[in-house]
Amino acid sequence: GAVVSQHPSWVICKSGTSVKIECRSLDFQATTMFWYRQFPKQSLMLMATSNEGSKATYEQGVEKDKFLINHASLTLSTLTVTSAHPEDSSFYICSAGGGSYEQYFGPGTRLTVT
């Protein structure tokens, strides 16, 4: 099956700094990728749709200025958490469509803000 990678797998940063998370489709191209957030023992919540070559579409309640998304190529989307605060600590997961109505998910990135 198709593979989606994320980097880094975990990151610890200090409050006020920015962190960039990468999502790559390794063996297929994806014009659209999705970013989810998962709190411990909870479900995945869709944050935004990343569109190659255009602006991302954010879900209601998600701060676009805090969570910057860039879809620079057909295989790479990045999520930058700006001016991170402890409440931004979470598990961030991306997905990309590989056809056949299936989304392939990355392994996730654990962000801890101290």
Q: Which stretches of the chain bind another protein, using CB under 8 A?
A: 4, 32, 34, 42-46, 49, 93, 95, 97, 101-108
Q: How far is the CB of 15 from another protein (least distance, A)?
A: 27
Q: How far is the CB of 107 from another protein (least distance, A)?
A: 4
Q: How far is the CB of 103 from another protein (least distance, A)?
A: 5
Encoded tokens for 14:
């200090």
Nearer to another protein, 80 or 103 (CB): 103
Sign of the torsion formed by the C-alpha atoms of 41, 42, 47 and 53? positive
Asked if 15 and 31 count as a contact pair (C-beta separation under 8 A), the reply is: no
Q: How far is the CB of 43 from another protein (least distance, A)?
A: 5
Nearer to another protein, 34 or 84 (CB): 34
C-alpha to C-alpha distance for 97 and 30, rounded to whole angstroms: 6
Nearer to another protein, 71 or 84 (CB): 71
Asked if 93 and 38 count as a contact pair (C-beta separation under 8 A), the reply is: yes
Nearer to another protein, 57 or 80 (CB): 57
Encoded tokens for 85:
């605060």
Q: Examine residue 8 and say whether the peptide bond preceding it is cis (omega within 30 degrees of 0).
A: yes
